[in-house]
Amino acid sequence: MVEQLTLVNENNGHVVALAGNPNVGKSTVFNQLTGLKQHTGNWPGKTVGIAEGTVEHEGEFYCLVDLPGTYSLSSNSEEEEVAQDFIQSEQSVATICVCDATSLERNLNLVLQIMQMSDKVVVCINLIDEARKKGIHINIDKLQSLLGVPVVATAARQNEGLDDLMVALSDVVVGDIKMNPYMKEALASLSDDPEENTKALLDRATVIADDVIELDNEDYNRRDRKLDKILTQRATGLPIMILLLVVVFWFTIQGANVPSDALAKMFSTIGDYLNQFAHYIHMPEWLRGALIDGVYNVLSTVISVMLPPMAIFFPIFTLLEDFGYLPRVAFNLDSFFAKAGACGKQALTMCMGFGCNAAGVTGTRIINSPREKLIAIVTNNFVPCNGRFPILISIITMFFVGSSVTLGNSLKSAFMLAAVVILGVFSTFWISQLLSKTILKGIPSSFTLELPPYRKPQVGSVIVRSIFDRTLFVLWRAMVVAAPAGLVIWVMANIMVGDQSILALITDTIDPFARLMGLDGTILMAFILGLPANEIVIPIMVMGYLSKSTLFEFESLDQFKQLLLDNGWTWLTAANTILFTLYHWPCSTTLMTIYKETKSHKWTWVSFLVPTIMGIVVTMLTTFLAHLFNLV
């Protein structure tokens, strides 16, 4: 029995499945038609769940369901099963099969499989603009008559042909146009044996593709192949990857510095006015303290520290994603992951982790083997997410580089940040290997990761999209957490038990343990209270120190460094804080996502404990060694 999907379908529209191979533009078609914002990008396997949205066409409502991409419908993976079940179910009245015009033959294979299951199919030949550019001509009319179902050419990103697609869809759904009966018979009369059937469909797809395609130039993929040679060869692939990492970080650090300072100054000026206003209206001191010293200060630090780097990092990352670089990263790292007994696709989920570890964990659904999926989930936290970058950047800059903004300094910071990230990547390999040798034993499965064609990213829309969909989203999430956290910490710093505040009491209690790790009670406390979001670790640290020495305005890194030095920081404290930022528990959102993905308390705990224990051990070790050799 096929399990039904729960759809909202609020307008009670005709339910239509949107299926196709991975990375052919299904979500782009979906987004254009429904006005929604499913994740799109140039690598196979982005859509992992199910999204639905409504389109209206000539007074009729259609409920489109964006399915994960599948190469076939033979239920090899969770995602294929979802797609197959849905297409076959009574729920969907028709299927739009989206195809990549630049690799029609393989796509037609899936079209034919779908046509065997349902006789209401519209074929959408997408990416037609790319095909044109490569000199691939497809005779759409002929294809339509050979397939016996409506065929429409589209360039979804440019919104070309989508009206025609809706007309064809309404012909099929409302006009009740079915597949050509001869075709239906031909497909039904293929063999009952699944293997022979698959082969027959493949043959047929080849024949049809040969019949409708005309090439200007047989060698249309030459440029891609040349570029791939450089980007994925052993000798050049890895160095270019590391170089790119440094360049991206350098842009982020260099670019973020000035706006960060400007924002901090602006917030501090506004803070002064707010204070004056509070005095003017005779606001009670406890309320003023809670609102301005607590909520407002934490919020403004979070914004000024986080917004500029994110607004630079996310767009660059998205540009690389749309260009098609991420699958090349996976390709380059594949052998390392194989050696570690894990899956090469883990490189993709690792890349997603740079933005947000929770997103990376959800992304692990592209990994078919449950064992390898768990490895990817447990180790995802080893790449620092966007909430942790600001901590790393500011401490590296203050303690190891020098805070004046010069080209050399920002380059040095970028190198060090890249080194920390590479350390995280190596830790991913080590821990993956450890897991696959111990609690997650097994042989790594083989898979074919497709290298999609390079696509020219649309710079303007990428910037807009990454700022609105990602930057502001992440910032908003951080702020929602930061405001109450600011309040809580202010209250803790101001409620006295005896002659000590609660905050001081707790930090003093955990201080001895933190010292063993080369940290102090306040730092460890900031990490603990930062469980809801790493973004608030720095503001909490600042408030923790301030509750001892007041009169501080976060206007520049130099002042911040002074505050830290006054509280006994040395280079060792800084180094350990960096290490602990890299290795500690995932934030609560990520933990919740891990639980949702694994449905297991045990694996959620493992994901919590592995990086945490590693962080404690590593920092204790560096502290021990530093003291042993009298380095501090």
Ligand X SMILES: Nc1nc2c(ncn2[C@@H]2O[C@H](COP(=O)(O)OP(=O)(O)OP(=O)(O)O)[C@@H](O)[C@H]2O)c(=O)[nH]1
Distance CA 194, CA 530 (A): 54
Distance CA 626, CA 632 (A): 6
Minimal distance, residue 535 CB to ligand X, in Å: 28
Q: Could you say whether residue 384 binds ligand X (CB under 6 A)?
A: no
Minimal distance, residue 276 CB to ligand X, in Å: 50
Minimal distance, residue 158 CB to Mg ion, in Å: 18
Comparison of 155 and 591: residue with beta carbon closer to ligand X: 155
Comparison of 27 and 318: residue with beta carbon closer to Mg ion: 27
Distance CA 524, CA 506 (A): 10
Give residues with Cβ within 8 angstroms of 135, minimum separation 6: 215, 216, 217, 220
Comparison of 74 and 494: residue with beta carbon closer to ligand X: 74
Q: Which residue is nearest to ligand X (CB)?
A: 69
Comparison of 99 and 575: residue with beta carbon closer to ligand X: 99
Q: Does residue 340 contact residue 436 with C-beta atoms inside 8 Å?
A: yes
Q: Could you say whether residue 27 binds ligand X (CB under 6 A)?
A: yes
Distance CA 424, CA 422 (A): 5
302 binds, among ligand X, Mg ion, none (CB under 5 to 8 A by kind): none
Q: Could you say whether residue 42 binds Mg ion (CB under 5 A)?
A: no
Minimal distance, residue 170 CB to ligand X, in Å: 21
Give residues with Cβ within 8 angstroms of 97, minimum separation 6: 19, 20, 110, 111, 114, 121, 122, 123, 124
Q: What is the DSSP letter of 205?
A: H
Comparison of 321 and 520: residue with beta carbon closer to ligand X: 321
Distance CA 349, CA 352 (A): 5
Q: Could you say whether residue 589 binds ligand X (CB under 6 A)?
A: no
Q: Could you say whether residue 27 binds Mg ion (CB under 5 A)?
A: yes
Q: Could you say whether residue 157 binds ligand X (CB under 6 A)?
A: yes
Q: Could you say whether residue 23 binds ligand X (CB under 6 A)?
A: yes
Structure-token pair, residue 341: 């007994």
Minimal distance, residue 47 CB to Mg ion, in Å: 3
Place of tokens 């020495």: 549
Structure-token pair, residue 275: 């204070």
Selected from 15, 19, 24, 489, the binder of ligand X by CB under 6 A is 24
Q: Could you say whether residue 109 binds ligand X (CB under 6 A)?
A: no
Q: What x/- string results for residues 451 through 490 when contact with ligand X is judged by CB under 6 A?
A: ----x-----------------------------------
Beta-ladder partners of 138: 213
Q: Could you say whether residue 47 binds Mg ion (CB under 5 A)?
A: yes
Comparison of 68 and 308: residue with beta carbon closer to Mg ion: 68
Beta pairing, strands 136-138 & 213-215: antiparallel
Kindly calculate the radius of gyration of the chain based on its CA atoms and give it in whole angstroms: 28
127 binds, among Mg ion, ligand X, none (CB under 5 to 8 A by kind): ligand X
Distance CA 530, CA 298 (A): 12
Selected from 15, 28, 138, 557, the binder of ligand X by CB under 6 A is 28
Q: Could you say whether residue 52 binds ligand X (CB under 6 A)?
A: no
Comparison of 148 and 453: residue with beta carbon closer to Mg ion: 453
If we measure between CA atoms, which residue out of 604, 26, 45 comes closest to residue 321?
A: 45
Comparison of 28 and 507: residue with beta carbon closer to ligand X: 28
Q: Could you say whether residue 44 binds ligand X (CB under 6 A)?
A: yes
Q: Could you say whether residue 41 binds ligand X (CB under 6 A)?
A: yes
If we measure between CA atoms, which residue out of 581, 579, 586, 582 comes closest to residue 619?
A: 579
Count of chain residues binding ligand X (CB under 6 A)? 25
Structure-token pair, residue 198: 């698959």
Selected from 80, 85, 119, 130, the binder of ligand X by CB under 6 A is 130
Residue 538: strand, helix, or coil: helix
CB contact burial 521-535 (16+ within 10 A = b; e otherwise):
bbbbbbbebbbbbbb
Q: Could you say whether residue 345 binds ligand X (CB under 6 A)?
A: no
Structure-token pair, residue 501: 């505040």
Q: Could you say whether residue 45 binds ligand X (CB under 6 A)?
A: yes
45 binds, among ligand X, Mg ion, none (CB under 5 to 8 A by kind): ligand X
Q: Could you say whether residue 357 binds Mg ion (CB under 5 A)?
A: no
Selected from 110, 121, 127, 383, the binder of ligand X by CB under 6 A is 127
Beta-ladder partners of 19: 97
Distance CA 146, CA 376 (A): 44
Minimal distance, residue 472 CB to ligand X, in Å: 20
Distance CA 115, CA 224 (A): 32
Minimal distance, residue 20 CB to ligand X, in Å: 6
Question: Rounded to an integer, what is the distance from CA 89 to the centroid of its chain?
Answer: 31
Place of tokens 């919020």: 299
Q: Which amino acid is at 327?
A: P
Provide the binding-site residues for ligand X, judged by CB under 6 A. Answer: 20, 22-28, 40-42, 44-47, 69, 126-127, 129-130, 155-157, 322, 455
Provide the binding-site residues for Mg ion, judged by CB under 5 A. Answer: 26-27, 47
